[in-house]
Amino acid sequence: MAIPPLPWPDPGGDLALPPWPGTAPAAAPLLVLLDRRKPQVQALVAPLGELLNPDERQRLRRLRRQEDGERFLLGRGALRLLLGGWLGCDPADLVLGAGPHGKPELLPQASGGPGWGRRPPQFNVSHSGDLILVGFHPQRPVGVDVEQRRPVPEWEAIARRHLPAEESERIRGLPERRRGDSFLAAWCRLEAGLKARGLGLFAGAPADGPPGRNPELWPLLLPEGYVGAAALA
């Protein structure tokens, strides 16, 4: 079943925290969506920028294109603001690290809020075009991926390198006008699953979870022109 991410903030700019998902391992991930085209999201650019730490500010300065900078700032700032609210601490004080393949993670010493169990909440971020997607789960590693629909003339070569042979054959059997979108949907599933397992495209072993574990996958209901997926390991 497809999951509709929760648009945030609401059209009036209300920054109320979305309800945290149930703590049961079977609970679906909480997905929060920011759309740069919305005035209430643009209004967050300056205040969220104040939450970034020095390393994040330096990374932001290295992004030369305004849209790249806004996507990074909104994704990292929203992540800090939401996690800080749920954990009951200053968002700017959260200590965010990165796994072996760059997946962001909350370091244990920053997760002292009540009710979080033995490990900090799990999360992941993806952005494309005007959308920034953030996924959360209280226990299980989560991965998300969003892609703006666009022509992908080289999709067959990419699919041969990264997708299962049967998936490539299925896409090839579709009418030509549908192949690009179908490839992007398959790519989102691949990326979300890899991120949930703590893997990169060329990595041989997961950083979090057993090697043979298949992630649980969901397609996403996104604004027109976008496709995405979420996964739990």
Mean pLDDT along residues 181-191: 97
Rounded distance between C-alpha atoms, residue 45 and residue 37, angstroms:
12
Does an H or E element contain 96, and which?
A: strand 96-98
Strand partners, 122: 137
Domains of the chain and any CATH numbers: 6-12+29-232 (3.90.470.20)
What sections of 93-232 are H helices per DSSP? 155-162, 165-172, 176-196
Lowest mean pLDDT segment, chosen from 33-37, 122-126, 201-205: 201-205
Q: Which residue has the tokens 């003339």?
A: 153
Rounded distance between C-alpha atoms, residue 49 and residue 57, angstroms:
8
The pLDDT value given to residue 109: 60
User: Model confidence over 19-38: pLDDT tens digits?
Assistant: 887 666 677 899 999 999 99
The pLDDT value given to residue 205: 40
The pLDDT value given to residue 206: 42
The pLDDT value given to residue 68: 96
Rounded distance between C-alpha atoms, residue 118 and residue 138, angstroms:
10
Q: Which of 139, 167, 96 is nearest to 232 (CA)?
A: 139
Rounded distance between C-alpha atoms, residue 157 and residue 155, angstroms:
6
Lowest mean pLDDT segment, chosen from 139-143, 210-214, 222-226: 210-214
The pLDDT value given to residue 1: 83
Q: What is the mean pLDDT of the chain?
A: 89
